[in-house]
Amino acid sequence: MAEGEGFEPLDLVQIQQILPHRYPFLLVDRVVEMIPGEKVVALKNVTANEPFFQGHFPGYPVMPGVLIVEALAQAGCVMMLQSIEDRENKVPFFAGIDSCRFRRPVVPGDQLRLELTVLRQRGISCKMVGKAFVGEELAAEAEILAVVGERS
């Protein structure tokens, strides 16, 4: 459901009820729009306190591209897991990345807007196209394949 159509944005506590990720690897702060099985829009606030900035890079902090893609994948998995029964016994996995491109650096103080649209969903797998924006500027884009597995 999109905002304005009965969708209530998800805060961090609600996201943690859906995703198994935790600090320092939970990279979604808020879900602002969702149409289950179709699209999701989420936010990641990038702060100077992120642990990866200590080493990437001292004196010139840049968010690693792989973590931008991970943030996209996590936002997509919120949408995938949102409607799954027994989700506390499920775990989302990255299964593939295609056509990944990085367009601009992401630095402390930026807010990433993570937009994903489902290309196809079959059973436990979902292929999505994701775009990460800072303001109106495209920072990264990728096609992401995710699957939902059983926790052992």
Q: Which of 56, 103, 127, 131 is catalytic?
A: 56
CA 88 distance to own-chain centroid: 19
Distance CA 62, CA 120 (A): 32
Q: Per-residue DSSP letters for 94-109?
A: EEEEEEEEE-S---TT
Question: Is 21 a known active-site residue?
Answer: no
How wide is the angle at C-alpha 52 spanned by C-alphas 145 and 39, nearest 5°? 30
Residue 10 and residue 78 in contact, taking contact as beta carbons nearer than 8 Å: yes
Catalytic residues: 56
